[in-house]
Chain A
Amino acid sequence: MGLLSLAIWTPIVFGVVLLALGRDDQARTVRWVALIGAIVSFLVTLPLYAGFKLGTAAMQFVEKAPWIERFNVNYHLGVDGISLWLVILTAFINVVVVIAGWEVITRRVNQYMGAFLILSGLQIGVFCALDGMLFYVFFEATLVPMYLIIGIWGGPNKIYAAFKFFLYTLLGSLLMLVALIFLYTKSGGSFDLATWHQLPLAGTAQTLLFFAFLAAFAVKVPMWPVHTWLPDVHVEAPTGGSAVLAAVMLKLGAYGFLRFSLPIAPDAAHEWSGLMIALSLIAVVYVGLVALVQTDMKKLVAYASVAHMGFVTLGFFLFNDLGLSGALVQMVSHGFVSAAMFLSIGVLYDRAHSREIASYGGVVNTMPKFTAFALLFAMANCGLPGTAGFVGEWMVIIGAVKANFWLGFAAASSLVFGAAYTLWMVKRVYLGPVANDHVKALKDINAREFLMLSLLAIAVLYMGVYPKPFTDVMDTSVTELLKHVALSKLI
């Protein structure tokens, strides 16, 4: 069994064991098994980084076995510079989320923990799949645990959110399914991604494929104007669900662009890059403004996520080195930062049971340790140099300036909005005098929360100060991808 199989199946097996473990009177055992499972799952991804060979764009740790021979579908796994960090990020966030749900979740603990572990394995599967059908199976299967997580442990309007999440994303991916079958037929019976990358396609076919993939991935990222599910879902999802959703699930869509849209339909991607850049800029600027007026903290961070993911898609469609690398770095850093933001809100929500900005004020007075963390994450969220949020955005902006000055100007202006909505929220929630009795009664974070937040804080700072391990891994794959996309595949 290869390392990638281990990374995928370890959490899934632990998750299944947890589901079988049963009742809530064993909650303590369940939590420890879940934590051990998450940590083991994280540890098995580390050799991937240690053994990763730099300087090659080839797939590494490849595993290939026939799966459904009738359709020539293979269990074909591998990682390159694009996916490696996403795999590790997923496993890392999973550990944090298990810690975050520790004593907060008291109802059906085994199902909660099991769902997260299984979800984590499935997401890693998406990042590792080199076979179109395998990718689709993992991609779709992630919907099931997330649907249950939102629906069972969510807020008051959870049913609406769970349905919106499921149906919205299913709509997109079903169109992708037709596209995959079309490619299978065109390529003479192969679901192999590498074969598809080399497959010459006519202009109309490329355009149709591009838009079919766009339907799936744009909803998932989410890009403006199909982002409307995200705020609703984030608000209702439990804290852990929001964290995984923002940190990893959105990346599935962005990752799809790099594995499918760009290399399979490069000519269409170039042709429609204007549209994509426009949509990304709207996400960055307009959604940033929308975030400014939110009164609900989770909604604010959700809109901020849309804006940050706008940077990612912007970077993709600039078709230059800095833009694409920046987008990739942004994907990973947004994973850490958005998870941290949602978990911080979760810490407050667990105590005061409100997400409204107005119900807080002067939290720093009662929760100084927590406020220190929250401030750090807020700074990362608005892209302060020295934090993870800075690196990616800065690279994308430079890339944009290279492409066109005004493009870069527009993208850079969003940093101002980012600072505005984040800092304004920080001011209203954390700073100032104690606003009311609820805030007065707040207790500072305990050891568990301290551990969880410091794990994220370390990641955020490390990535901000020393992003080299990230960019080194990505570099060759990015160059290779750009080279591939620059060549026309028209017939």
Chain B
Amino acid sequence: MIDKLSWISVYPEIILLIMACVIALADLGVKSPRRTQTYLLSLLTLAIVAALQASYAVGGVTVYGFGNMVVSDPMGNWLQCFATIAVMVSLVYGRPYAADRDMLRGGEMFSLSLFGLLGIFVMISGNNFLVIYLGLELLTLSSYALVALRRDNATATEAAMKYFVLGALASGFLLYGLSMMYGATGSLDVSAVFKAINSGQIKHQVLVFGLVFVVSGLAFKLGVVPFHMWIPDVYQGAPTAVTLLIAGAPKLAAFAICIRLLVEGMLPLAIDWQQMLMVLSVGSLLIGNLAAIAQTNLKRMLAFSTISHMGFVLLGLMSGVVNGDVHYAANAYSSSMFYVLTYVLTTLASFGVILLLARDGFESEEISDMAGLNERSPLYAGVMAVCLFSLAGIPPMVGFYAKLAVLQALVASGGVFHIGLAVFAVMMSLIGAFYYLRVIKVMYFDKPLTAGTMSAPFDVRAVLSLNGALLLVLGLLPGGLMALCANAVVQMLGT
């Protein structure tokens, strides 16, 4: 007998699943080359799901459903809500681009995006190793297909191939690690695993052996050094509209499974995984930032910058437990959550501008393609500049507060060594500032290569302006979103 609460907790998933199928079918009857009806139906679905998730999140109730298989807690609900919005925004930005490149035929882009989002939902609300894994596979399989959506394009196909092979390898790692944990603890249930590890009855070596594989799998999905190789190639090779889908919402899911697996499942092993995360983080900050300097392709540069930003997220995740004391955990994990959220918000806007600059037969993905953007359109140049300053962590953009929160968590959690790490992180963001500034230089100081103003459909213009404005407003008043993250994480840890 499945109780009513279980069903309520997965309503958003159910709606999403049904509508993804309905949209795939309904598209058969759509004739318009821009797929306006499919598009509107998808947006409507997403809006309803986002509103539902937000109402759950505001309700603040934690529900375990289907015999502990899934959990619906405020942290998960907020992440799902933001992921839905991110997919929505990605579709808005990506549609004109996709339409110009004949990617909308058959409407798969919409249904695949919804299936990917469903995977994200399952990952975030999964409370069982297998459920989480299923969600992950649903997301990644949809993503592989999305990357390969331009069948006739060689680079996109190559990117899809790379993504598929490396992604499968990573899934294998994760699955192997999870099976080790299962073997050691005898359970797939996240909270049962936690209890088993906490009892101290299980041999530490076996657990750590499994943990190494779990962390490697997660590192692949987050895209941190040394498991980052797929990120630049896929970001660059995928059609930009799909890059946006991969770079946005899935990061929220990756963060969520880190929390579910490492924190909720394996917190007693924190001493071990925190050290691993630290190594990954230092590597990501170093290689991500240094490699980004050498890039001339904007998408590739942003890919390396993603790697470095994920390094920052890990800095927060590794500051939760000090000498077995979980006093700092809420502070640390909420800073990471805030970081991921602001990062996704910024990424959406920056790729939105890149998509806007692309025209039929012209990709506009070199940094030099941005030349003189300020003279062509001060508004879009302004939005892009806000994004880049935010990524560089310059106040009063929201990215600064994200860095501040993570650094604060880091310094609060430890002694001299952590302060040294904080100094290292800020020095790396100084290097980061250089390549972001270079793009701003191209936009503002260089002469435009092509004259002519830019036009964009109304929906893109409106959402993009809103997105840019939100970055600034959050920069002036970041308190609300920070408090939201803190409350969500406190409730998650409390249960």
Contacts and interface: CB of A to CB of B under 8 A. Distances in A.
Contact of A167 (B407, B422, B430, B486): B430
Contacts of B426: 174-175, 177-178
Interface string B397-412: 0001100110110011
A181 B429 contact: no
A209 to B, nearest CB: 11
B434 interface: yes
A144 B389 contact: yes
* Interface majority SS (helix, strand, loop, mixed), chain B: helix
Interface stretch (A82-90, A135-143, A241-249, A324-332): A135-143
B226 interface: no
A158 interface: yes
A344 B490 CA distance: 60
A143 B401 CA distance: 17
Contacts of B444: 148, 151-152
B433 A68 contact: no
Residue among B375, B412, B434, B445 with most chain A CB within 10 A: B445
B445 A158 contact: yes
Interface residues of B, number: 36
A159 B411 contact: no
Nearest to B410: A181
B412 A185 contact: yes
B411 A182 contact: yes
Interface in A165-189: 166-167, 170-171, 174-175, 177-178, 181-182, 184-185
A150 to B, nearest CB: 9
Nearest to B386: A144
Nearest to A22: B378
B411 A181 contact: yes
A460 B228 CA distance: 60
Contacts of A185: 408, 411-412
A207 B482 CA distance: 33
A71 B382 CA distance: 29
A152 B478 CA distance: 30
A183 B161 CA distance: 50
A167 B441 contact: no
Given A70-B483, A141-B395, A178-B419, A159 B430 contact: no
B395 A69 contact: no
B408 A181 contact: yes
A177 B425 CA distance: 11
A170 B483 contact: no
B395 A147 contact: no
A137 B400 contact: yes
Interface string A404-447: 00000000000000000000000000000000000000000000
A371 interface: no
A69 B394 CA distance: 20
Interface string A123-151: 00000000001001100110110011001
B396 interface: yes
A34 B389 CA distance: 25
Contact of B478 (A68, A141, A182): A68
Interface string B380-396: 00100000010000111
B423 A167 contact: no
A64 to B, nearest CB: 15
A333 to B, nearest CB: 31
B441 A174 contact: no
A67 interface: yes
B8 interface: no
B437 interface: yes
B479 A70 contact: yes
B394 A140 contact: yes
Give the interface size bracket for A toward B.
35 or more
B431 to A, nearest CB: 9
B423 A170 contact: no
A20 B49 CA distance: 36
Given A143-B394, A175-B423, A181-B408, A163 B437 contact: yes
B170 to A, nearest CB: 34
A190 to B, nearest CB: 12
Contacts of B419: 178, 182
Given A111-B378, A151-B441, A151-B445, A174 B429 contact: yes
A162 interface: yes
Contacts of A19: 378, 382
B288 to A, nearest CB: 17
A307 B434 CA distance: 30
B383 to A, nearest CB: 13
* Interface majority SS (helix, strand, loop, mixed), chain A: helix
Interface string B221-247: 000000000000000000000000000
Contacts of A71: 404-405, 408, 482
Contacts of B441: 151, 159, 162-163
Nearest to A136: B395
Interface string B463-495: 000000000000001110011001000000000
A158 B446 CA distance: 11
Contacts of A66: 479
Interface string A253-271: 0000000000000000000
B444 to A, nearest CB: 6
Nearest to A148: B444
Contacts of B430: 167, 170-171, 174
B427 interface: yes
B445 A159 contact: yes
Nearest to A208: B419
Contacts of A137: 395-396, 400
B403 to A, nearest CB: 8
A140 B400 CA distance: 10
A486 to B, nearest CB: 29
Nearest to B442: A159
A181 B407 contact: yes
Nearest to B487: A70
Contacts of B401: 68
A67 B434 CA distance: 30
Given A151-B441, A151-B445, A178 B422 contact: yes
Given A159-B441, A162-B441, A178-B426, A69 B411 contact: no
Contact of A166 (B395, B408, B437): B437
Contacts of B429: 174
A71 B427 CA distance: 23
B408 A144 contact: no
A144 B330 CA distance: 33
Given A136-B395, A178-B423, A184 B482 contact: no
A162 B479 CA distance: 32
Contacts of A167: 430, 433-434, 437
A108 to B, nearest CB: 8
A315 B440 CA distance: 39
A30 B332 CA distance: 47
A140 B412 CA distance: 23
A148 B401 CA distance: 22
22 contacts: A69-B483, A108-B375, A111-B374, A111-B378, A141-B396, A144-B389, A159-B441, A163-B434, A163-B441, A166-B433, A170-B394, A171-B430, A174-B427, A177-B404, A177-B426, A178-B411, A178-B422, A178-B423, A182-B419, A185-B408, A185-B411, A185-B412
Given A70-B482, A158-B445, A185-B412, 8 more contacts: A67-B479, A68-B482, A137-B396, A140-B395, A151-B441, A152-B444, A167-B433, A185-B411
